[in-house]
A and B are shown apart, each in its own frame.
Chain A
Amino acid sequence: MNLECFSSGSSLMHRADVRCKIISAFFFSLVVALCHTLFAPVFALLIASVLLFLAHLPYMKVLKRLLMVNVFSLLFWLTLPFTVPGPLFMELGPLVISRPGLALAALITLKTNAIVLVVLALIATSGVAKIGHGLAALKLPSRFCMLLLFTYRYIFVLHQEYQRLRRAALLRGFRPATTMHTYQTYGNLLGMTLVKSWQRGVRVQQAMLLRGFQGRFYVLEGRRLAASDLALVALVFLSACGVVFMERLSSGGGWS
């Protein structure tokens, strides 16, 4: 299990301040998500690709991620052109493909890919611990940040505990099949994992109590913002403005 396969590296994006990256990614994604024309997301996709290039991520892994995302886009291509009413594009036997349907499917695909690329370039280049701290520094509710950080801390431990139980079952000749016995066994495995997680939760809470926890989390001081961090925010902000400009320009006479 690896939650952070893009987080190690020394590229420009890896070194940038996580708070700046979160703000940039959020703002850019918001602008892209609100687009209605096809031209603006194309432009956004280009910018996102540039950002991704700056992050020096392994291309095969990135392509794999995009493939996973586009499986969902494929579902839109298989349904929207046939269901959205509007002017006819072409007829396929009994099926009718509409122009607005095609346009909508294309729009969703472009937007999705642009946003995923931006998130890969800006967010995935930080580890979960850093993202948690970044969110806390941006004054998000501390409960939310702690939930994220504790999940990150213990998801591996719980996964290991589950794996241990599963291995113990396999070593005693358990073979999963479509039988009542299998369901019961998996039920027991999940149940035991849940009980163990609960007990661990109690022990962690005791550990916190013993070290003087009184319901308040303190965050160690983060690093100071560098000029390059602010430059990144400015760059992404300007790009987003460019996307808005394209949107305005092409919505005058266009597709939809």
Chain B
Amino acid sequence: MTTVLLDDISFSHPDGGQLFHHLHLAIGSERVGFIGPNGSGKTTLFHIIMGLIKPDCGRVVMDDKVVADSKAWRQLRRQIGFLFQDADDQLFSPTVLEDVAFGPLNMGCDGPTAKSKAIATLNSLGLADFDNRITHKLSGGEKKLVALATILVMEPDILLLDEPTNNLDPATRERLVAILAKLNLPMVIISHDFDFLAKTTDVIYSLEHGHLHKSESIHLHTHPHAHVYGDHPHDHGG
């Protein structure tokens, strides 16, 4: 099991505002949800974990070793899969197959191995026959699922998902819930979608004023509301 520890992290924007103030966080054992207002630094925290942004002070520790040199960062990036907010940023190859095979090829797989790994991952996500599709012609939901495939094909130990349900239709959203439930991986999910977090995570933290607060228990309640669009009812699962 891989664990990643954020130790005493502080970070301020170049233009002033402080985002984190001596923050501690351990990930790798459970499924965590992050909520917080826009601009509270949720995405920045992910970037710090992945080494895309250097914090003002503090360190990232993986499996009891401080991640310091580029080799250690490469290892960390291999073990943590980060799903971007915008799938268009993540899918840069012309065809789906090439995009999914990009990671394995960089990890040293030969062509045929990378190809079969990519196809197996696509199949496991219900994306069989997507391999020759042109990435920019996919729909928004398809792009999101293919982007997830590009991460999962690298066989990560932990997943970081940045607002994965943004702009997804209800069907694709449910598909994502089902996929994540089946994965059996520790993950951290940033989302404003409480219902989605309740379905996919064990604990929820809220990030406010540079500090993480644990929401001890998720309080789910029912509330009556009118279904105006009676032709398109939705299911409350209870």
Q: Are A209 and B77 in contact (CB under 8 A)?
A: yes
Q: How far is the CB of A193 from chain B (nearest CB, A)?
A: 15
Select one of A200, A210, A219 contacting B82, CB under 8 A. A210
A153-B135, A221-B112 given as contacts; is B103 within 8 A of A211 (CB)? yes
A210-B82, A211-B154 given as contacts; is B134 within 8 A of A129 (CB)? yes
Which of the 9-residue segments B9-17, B84-92, B220-228 touches chain A?
A: B84-92
Q: How far is the CB of B53 from chain A (nearest CB, A)?
A: 10
- Chain A residue contacts of B86, Cβ below 8 A: 203
- Chain B residue contacts of A78, Cβ below 8 A: none
- A: residues with CB less than 8 A from B are 127-129, 132, 149-150, 152-154, 156-157, 200, 203-204, 206-214, 216, 218-221
B98 within 8 A of A: yes
- Chain B residue contacts of A149, Cβ below 8 A: 93-94
Q: How far is the CB of A22 from chain B (nearest CB, A)?
A: 16
Select one of A127, A132, A152, A203 contacting B84, CB under 8 A. A203
Select one of B92, B94, B107, B111 contacting A221, CB under 8 A. B111
Tell me, in angstroms, the Cα distance from A209 to B80 when the chains sit together.
13
Tell me, in angstroms, the Cα distance from A149 to B134 when the chains sit together.
12
0/1 per residue, B145-185, Cβ < 8 Å to A? 00000100010000000000000000000000000000000
- Chain A residue contacts of B136, Cβ below 8 A: 153, 156-157
Q: How far is the CB of B177 from chain A (nearest CB, A)?
A: 24
Q: Are B77 and A210 in contact (CB under 8 A)?
A: yes
Beta-carbon nearest neighbor of B137 in chain A? A156
Beta-carbon nearest neighbor of A130 in chain B? B94
Tell me, in angstroms, the Cα distance from A157 to B134 when the chains sit together.
13
Q: How far is the CB of A1 from chain B (nearest CB, A)?
A: 11
Q: Are A211 and B106 in contact (CB under 8 A)?
A: yes
Tell me, in angstroms, the Cα distance from A149 to B98 when the chains sit together.
12
Q: Are B89 and A204 in contact (CB under 8 A)?
A: yes
Nearest 10 Cβ contacts at the A-B interface: A129-B94, A212-B106, A218-B105, A203-B89, A211-B103, A221-B111, A207-B90, A210-B77, A156-B136, A204-B92
Q: Are B111 and A214 in contact (CB under 8 A)?
A: no
Tell me, in angstroms, the Cα distance from A152 to B95 when the chains sit together.
11
A212-B103, A220-B97, A220-B98 given as contacts; is B92 within 8 A of A207 (CB)? yes
- Chain B residue contacts of A218, Cβ below 8 A: 105-106, 111, 114
0/1 per residue, B56-90, Cβ < 8 Å to A? 00000000000000000010011000101010111
Beta-carbon nearest neighbor of B109 in chain A? A218
B101 within 8 A of A: yes
B50 within 8 A of A: yes
> Would you give 9 A-B contacts (Cβ < 8 Å), ordered by A?
A129-B94, A132-B94, A153-B92, A200-B88, A204-B89, A207-B89, A210-B50, A212-B154, A216-B106
